[in-house]
Structure 1
């Protein structure tokens, strides 16, 4: 018994020892886990961007359904024929009507739709051969909270001035390639009351859903600076939007919505065909100009106007130029064809009040920046506005720039914008078609509106566009007049950063074959849709010629950028004006073949891919497309 008792006691001690050892290990594990939790908590407290990165990885459902990469979506608009006709007759008012929309077979009721645009809106409005407007679609205009799988608003653009059907798509693709936050986009077949209407590009609106998708739930504030006065009627505005033609959930004619605001279908719907408005072939062939003609000064023509004066017509608000192309291109002042100096380039030098759209600091008064703050995407406080002014002040003096400006993002944006020769933007006298994003007092610039990219802004010779100077990438103004761009050239480190992104495009986007492969992929995707586009601005043969020209333009543009980076081609407008002997020869292509400003608005034989020849109210200015 004693022996058994001893064994039992010994065993009990051993088990107790094991339990004590196990408890010590468990305690250590618990302490370790608690410590790790505290460490991770501290990381996210001190670096909240990590949370945003995780939030960004969860793409919203609408990204997959509305903006697929390799599919053409279908959008059928069901609208009362009389209301639709009245909306088109009064398109410049930009007023919503209620309609039902079926997207890829899924129907939504009481959705707001209205014509949108700027130069494209004006062009179509004065053309009695076509009603092919761009449209804004607002899911919650009449039904509060209604979205398409999380998206409340998107636009469909009509491809005006783009015979390639690809300019805007490729522009966003290039921005996206460099890591710039861009809206989503996809090709779309539109129909009206079951009948084909046209082939469009659908684009995500740059609003709260865009911001959350790109920057996470704790996103900052978006502004859309606009240098020209708002035109039209009571169309949607960034702030204080109100429903038009009926209250929430009601049809414009007063019919009550059924089932929680789901609008009834209109009675007596009639099918409407899209009108045919094909373009004629531009027979003007581009000729190589000697430097003196290509870069000559032409004071008193396009380059002599001041911002906001008579040449800022309804077309000029979106980059238009009426009355044809001046001899020798659009040169002027110190800048040559795509001017790098005051008065140079397209459409005017400095002058007039910008309201802040040039991002030049003037003073600390909020009213001095009305054209920024009046175009805030959401409601903003005076404190929000003062953060922007403080950043602009830092931008003007060049101190603590990286505290107030996202220099890396700005370099990426302007590298892509320069490669695209997208002059209907911040870099011209119009200083529009961009979004300003502010978060915690730091500013960045976001892309919008590229139908006039690839050098389509007001013409110019192929040589001038292909060799557009990378170190003076402005039109009609000097670099100093655009401080957000100018900082890249006042600091050697920033210039190298900007050049590195251009080099990335030369090698990775163009040189790797990505550009041409993307064109080939898109051509395979949309070719039949273009062929069957019932309201096309261009014939199918013109589309094919335009795509071929686009491929060649990309090769030549990349070759010129490469030479400018290496120093074998002058990288400034002054240098190119002094010595044009090394410029890339682009006489083999005709720029208007790809579509040009004012083109795409008439029927066969009208406007023929060239500049618009006038219209009503020549001196009226209208806002940028939004």
Structure 2
């Protein structure tokens, strides 16, 4: 018979063996579970989604500009929401609208909800959609106009639905749908953006889309003809600059003036490299711009400025913007432009954005700036400080002449406007009450197109007169 201590030792060894066996079993189970989980994850991307293909739903084959931004046809998309998702969108919009005071709109962005998205017989799954915009959103909403600008993010809900991880629309992750607010021609956004692009000023790609939305009851409502805009920090940076490694900023607020009063880096929202707390390039541009060398040694100031900022690119932008008169941007508004620190030449580049208020001398108390820009004060130093340099004004006038003589030419623009009119007329004039910005129906559309033609002649003559002074 075993003694007590012998039994105690025996039981301890037996317990240890059992425990080791259990741990080994648990470890084995864990490894099996881990392998199964990895196998499931490997299969989850696109699995069970009937229309998912590498070409249409990923960016592995590049970006399909020809498909998404055709220039010879009007595409159609269908957005299908559940009744609950649509109600959530409307409730969120009403809540944000209650925060608006006059023309001081809330800075809060509307919430995304998930929708089913259809194009050319194919479905994209759980796509994020929300309202977007400032005056184009809130003014239309206030008038109970259902044709509101929209924003799409194709992988917004990938954390909730792993099968749509890195979902893309022919390579595009983000897209914006402009409602052509306050534009009877429905051409201001597109034709202005095209002109900037043609003249070599960094801008996004655009195309026309008919948009249909189902609020959850199976009825497809024609929301109208929209202008689809590429999103700057999604694909445009790679396409135009060859990379998106540099800092991209969306300025908005008092600091976006670059004036000596109220400047703050908080007004430069990062759209790339968000996790890196580095705004030193913007600070450097501000410091160089406001250096005392500007008044004591202008040539040294110019050299320093040109080492951090694409001055010539900005002067080209001014030439186009002042000719077509887009008042809703820098020198009037502290938004509607982007900045990109281009790693290829280490210069900050100006990128244009949002042109639905182009081709007009102003609105309300806001006037587009004149061709000589003499009224622009020191609170907008990117213009007023450059204007004070004679050589920069010579360059600016050279760009004005080039643009006026070779790009914004009345006979050429007549052909352009006639072409777009022929393409979109049916889509534009089919818009219905409650979902349109068009006033006067077909005749209103024709009048809007003619006004653009007449405006080109007026501005061409104005530029010629200015240059001949």
TM-score between the two structures when normalised by the length of structure 2? 0.74
Q: In the alignment, what sits opposite 1:381?
A: 276
Q: In the alignment, what sits opposite 2:436?
A: 536
Pair 1:78–1:427, CA change in 2 (3 A): same
Pair 1:137–1:456, CA change in 2 (3 A): farther
Pair 1:480–1:460, CA change in 2 (3 A): closer
Contact 2:152–2:176 (CA under 8 A) maintained in structure 1: yes
Confirm or deny that 1:483 pairs with 2:388: no
Contact 1:180–1:413 (CA under 8 A) maintained in structure 2: yes
Give the C-alpha shift of residue 492 in structure 1.
2.0
Pair 1:512–1:532, CA change in 2 (3 A): closer
Contact 1:422–1:453 (CA under 8 A) maintained in structure 2: yes
Confirm or deny that 1:75 pairs with 2:77: yes
Contact 2:260–2:379 (CA under 8 A) maintained in structure 1: no
Give the C-alpha shift of residue 98 in structure 1.
0.5
Q: In the alignment, what sits opposite 2:339?
A: 436
Secondary structure of 1:111's counterpart equals strand
Structure with greater proportional helix content: 2
The separation in 1 between residues aligned to 2:371 and 2:240, in whole angstroms, is 28
Pair 1:199–1:404, CA change in 2 (3 A): same
* 1:319-378 deviation line (CA, Å, top 9, x unaligned): xxxxxxxxxxxxxxxxxxxxxxxxxxxxxxxxxxx2x21123579xxx932111x45444
* 1:258-407 to 2 correspondences below 5 Å: 354=254, 356-360=255-259, 368-372=264-268, 374-379=269-274, 381-382=276-277, 384-397=278-291, 398=294, 399=301, 400-407=304-311
Pair 1:106–1:488, CA change in 2 (3 A): farther
Q: In the alignment, what sits opposite 2:370?
A: 469
Pair 1:116–1:484, CA change in 2 (3 A): same
Give the C-alpha shift of residue 133 in structure 1.
1.0
2:126 paired residue among 74, 91, 110: 110
Aligned residues: 368
Give the C-alpha shift of residue 558 in structure 1.
0.7
Confirm or deny that 1:408 pairs with 2:312: yes
Give the C-alpha shift of residue 218 in structure 1.
5.5
Confirm or deny that 1:141 pairs with 2:44: no
* 1:176-205 deviation line (CA, Å, top 9, x unaligned): 121011111100001123442211111011
Confirm or deny that 1:188 pairs with 2:213: no
The separation in 2 between residues aligned to 1:506 and 1:217, in whole angstroms, is 31
Give the C-alpha shift of residue 402 in structure 1.
1.2
Pair 1:60–1:371, CA change in 2 (3 A): same
The separation in 2 between residues aligned to 1:520 and 1:473, in whole angstroms, is 35
Contact 2:225–2:427 (CA under 8 A) maintained in structure 1: yes
Contact 1:411–1:497 (CA under 8 A) maintained in structure 2: yes
Pair 1:488–1:515, CA change in 2 (3 A): farther
Give the C-alpha shift of residue 103 in structure 1.
2.2
The separation in 2 between residues aligned to 1:405 and 1:380, in whole angstroms, is 24
1:514 paired residue among 402, 412, 422: 412
Higher RCO (CA 8 Å, separation ≥ 6 residues): 1
Q: In the alignment, what sits opposite 1:211?
A: 237
Give the C-alpha shift of residue 473 in structure 1.
6.7
Secondary structure of 2:224's counterpart equals strand
Structure with greater proportional strand content: 2
2:247 paired residue among 210, 221, 224: 221
The separation in 2 between residues aligned to 1:507 and 1:61, in whole angstroms, is 34
Q: In the alignment, what sits opposite 2:6?
A: none
Structure 2: unaligned runs, 5 residues or longer: 1-60, 97-108, 159-164, 215-219, 295-300
Give the C-alpha shift of residue 174 in structure 1.
1.3
RMSD after superposition: 2.3
The separation in 2 between residues aligned to 1:218 and 1:97, in whole angstroms, is 28
The separation in 2 between residues aligned to 1:522 and 1:460, in whole angstroms, is 31
Contact 1:183–1:210 (CA under 8 A) maintained in structure 2: yes
Q: In the alignment, what sits opposite 1:551?
A: 453
Give the C-alpha shift of residue 152 in structure 1.
0.4
Give the C-alpha shift of residue 520 in structure 1.
0.9
Confirm or deny that 1:526 pairs with 2:401: no
Q: In the alignment, what sits opposite 2:53?
A: none
Q: In the alignment, what sits opposite 1:155?
A: 176
Q: In the alignment, what sits opposite 1:449?
A: 354
Give the C-alpha shift of residue 413 in structure 1.
1.0
Confirm or deny that 1:564 pairs with 2:466: yes
The separation in 1 between residues aligned to 2:442 and 2:272, in whole angstroms, is 39
The separation in 2 between residues aligned to 1:191 and 1:84, in whole angstroms, is 14
The separation in 2 between residues aligned to 1:405 and 1:554, in whole angstroms, is 31
Give the C-alpha shift of residue 146 in structure 1.
0.9
The separation in 1 between residues aligned to 2:370 and 2:191, in whole angstroms, is 21
Give the C-alpha shift of residue 124 in structure 1.
2.5
TM-score between the two structures when normalised by the length of structure 1? 0.56
Q: In the alignment, what sits opposite 2:199?
A: 178
Give the C-alpha shift of residue 485 in structure 1.
1.8
Contact 1:172–1:182 (CA under 8 A) maintained in structure 2: yes
